[in-house]
Structure 1
Amino acid sequence: MTADIKTRHVILSGCSGGGKSTLLTELSGRGFETVPEPGLRIVAQEMDSAGGALPWVNMEAFARCALQLARADRQRVATAKDWVFFDRGLVDAALALEHVCGLSVATTLDPAERYYDVVFLTPPWPEIYRQTAARRHSYAQALEEYTRLRSGYQTLGYDIVILPKTDVVARADFIVGRLGGT
């Protein structure tokens, strides 16, 4: 595939605890390049080092770290020839920063940092949602975040596709089929 970066970089976003990481593992198992969620990596690092850029300690610092890590992720996979799937990314981090401190996404993101025009959202799914040491927010807070993300992606002109609440293989088949079966 010789298209530019944005047409190969696909975002999986949506409700926290909705199965994005599991889906990313399935897509990786099918041979696709995948990029894990910046937020989960930051939380792990900050918890190991007693750092302060944790979402429940300093959300602004956390979102700024997520932006930096997401930009590095994009650079790392810039030469990939096929679809690359991101568990969240720049847009999610920029929307979090906007929510926390009012910094406009238009100021935070360069138009050249766009991803593929279709974003796949995991819907709220209370039956699989679990709080963990790294995911301390409540399901109600996850719903609020989902609403903000959905609205933000719509405002930015992305085509939103809500993933079905089904097993991970069927979800991955759905995504690959939507992208033309490649």
Structure 2
Amino acid sequence: MGKKALIIGGPGTGKSTTLKALEKKGYTCYPEISREVILDAQKNGIEQLFLTDPLLFSQRLLEGRINQFKKAEMQEGTVFIDRGIPDVTAYLDYKKDTYPTYFKEANLQYRYDLVFLFPFWEDIYVGDNERYENRTEAKEIQSFLEQTYRNLGYDLIAVPQDNVANRVNFILSRC
């Protein structure tokens, strides 16, 4: 059974870049799936599904992240996952949206072994086609993510603001 190492943090903190570097080193990595959901919605004429229908967007994310979790359990060694199941409720709480209780139940049912927190990093934050948040919103989301995971009893391992190679080495030294 694989160890599930989660990489979390607000938008634009360097998670995906670090995950790609871990993948290049031969580790099994599951990318952030929200971009897939967003791009799929855009193909269907919905520019920002999270803004248009947050609950539908979040249900799709929850399903995808549960699938990633289950696949990670079947792998040998450490599996790195970009964003986890609790991110869904953190974002909904940030938006002050209501959601069914099974969202919070999923947070309790599916537990990760390690959670690496990428702090907001002003110098590397860049907006793009799928990232609608400005810097202020990204910082607020970061706070909601941290609080959600801490409330669930996770010990967050803060990843230093450093180059990608050093971030990878930091993460691997704690797995």
Gaps of 5+ in 1: none
Return the alpha-carbon distance in structure 2 between the equivalents of residues 107 and 172 of structure 1.
31
Q: Which amino acid aligns with 1:11?
A: L
Cα distance, 1:173–1:68 mapped onto 2, change above 3 Å? same
The two structures, once aligned, show a CA RMSD in angstroms of 1.9
**Cα distance 1:113–1:53, how it changes in 2: closer, same or farther (>3 A)?**
farther
* Residue 48 to residue 114, structure 1, CA distance change in 2 (3 Å): same
1:144 to 140, 144, 149: 140
1:114: which partner in 2?
A: 111
- Segment of structure 1 superposing worse, 50-59 or 83-92: 50-59
Task: Report matched runs for 1:44-55 at 5 Å.
Answer: 44-51=39-46, 54-55=49-50
Question: In the alignment, is residue 87 of structure 1 matched against residue 87 of structure 2?
Answer: no
Whether 1:125 and 2:112 are equivalent positions in the alignment is: no
Q: What percentage of residue pairs aligned between the two structures are identical? A: 26
Determine if contact 2:42/2:48 at 8 Å carries over to the other structure. no
* CA shift for structure 1 position 135: 0.4
User: Structure 1, residues 145-177: CA drift from partner, whole Å, max 9, x if none?
Assistant: 000000111110001111111111100000000
Q: Which runs of 5+ in 2 are unaligned?
A: none
> Are the aligned partners of 2:93 and 2:144 in contact in 1 as well (CA < 8 Å)?
no
Q: Which amino acid aligns with 1:94?
A: T
Q: Counterparts in 2 of 1:66-81, with a 5 A limit? A: 66-81=61-76
CA distance in 2, matches of 1:30, 1:101: 39
What TM-score, normalized to structure 2?
Answer: 0.90
